[in-house]
Amino acid sequence: MHGSVAQIFQLSKIQKKMNQKKIRIEACTNSVASSIAAQEGGAYRIELCDNLYEGGTTPSVATIELCRKYLHIKINVMIRPRGSDFVYSDIEFETMQRDILYAKTLGTNGVVFGILCPNGTIDIERTAQLIQLARPMTVTFHRAFDMVKDPYTALNQLIDLGVDCILTSGWKNKAMEGIENLKELVSRANNRISIMVGSGVTADNITQLIQTTQATEYHLSGSNWVESKMQYRNEGIFMGGLKEIPEFRYKLTDAQRIRQVVEICEAINGDNT
């Protein structure tokens, strides 16, 4: 990675402060093509989803299977039967269980889910059931964590349950807004669980996030808009029912945007691999 003397000095200081802990980048991807781009960009792992407009739902079996075919990096699969809240019916919970088993059968490395009770607490009983079902895969509790009533109580509960990682923005819309909360969360976690920082992570703010929070895992989409090849366009119809959801463009992970963040992390890690 190329940079000014001041930038290199700053990264060197962060490296010493991180005590040689390796910083890893997870790319949130929504397709096989995006996943391949994330790998090309140097991501350590992907979080494979569908329907990013709804915050991510479970991808198809074919998408998981093809990602496992074409990727050599780690694959975590989103287990979320629908958008909106994280309080699930019995049928939805059964769907999550089946999806976890499919993910395990297809050889994925981990699963990502979150279940809450209506009062804003962790659904401990159901979370424990899904963890048991998922093993030996890793388990990440996703940004449902940002919707809990008491994050620090939830942190300890997830540690006790044996969750491997929490994806969070510090219960704010973007990680930079929750940066002080993230710092406190990493401190309280005290290496008992990984705190993965996500939402709005870019090459422009990754250095500050690392320096402040001391987290070792970061989550980003690194995507760009791709224009549709459709020549004829009926501009008056919205398949998703909302004008805010574009019909003639879609998001695709940009390998270069991932690479920019990865190179900064490699400089802090002290390697060029």
pLDDT tens for each residue of the chain, 273 residues long? 445 545 555 665 665 566 667 999 999 999 999 999 999 999 999 999 998 888 899 999 999 999 999 999 999 999 999 999 999 999 999 999 999 999 999 999 999 999 999 999 999 999 999 999 999 999 999 999 999 999 999 999 999 999 999 999 999 999 999 999 999 999 999 999 999 999 999 999 999 999 999 999 999 999 999 898 888 888 887 776 666 778 888 889 999 999 999 999 999 998 644
DSSP for 126-138 reads HHHHHHHHHTTSE
Instruction: Please give the radius of gyration of the chain, using alpha carbons only, rounded to the nearest integer.
Output: 19
pTM greater than 0.95 (yes/no): no
Nearest of 262, 197, 230 to residue 37 by alpha carbon: 262
Domain range summary for the chain, segments of one domain joined by +: 21-269
Locate the DSSP E strands across the chain: 24-29, 45-48, 74-78, 110-113, 138-141, 165-168, 194-198, 217-220, 223-227, 249-253
Class of domain 21-269: alpha beta
Task: For residues 68 and 71, give the distance between their C-alpha atoms in angstroms, rounded to a whole number.
Answer: 5
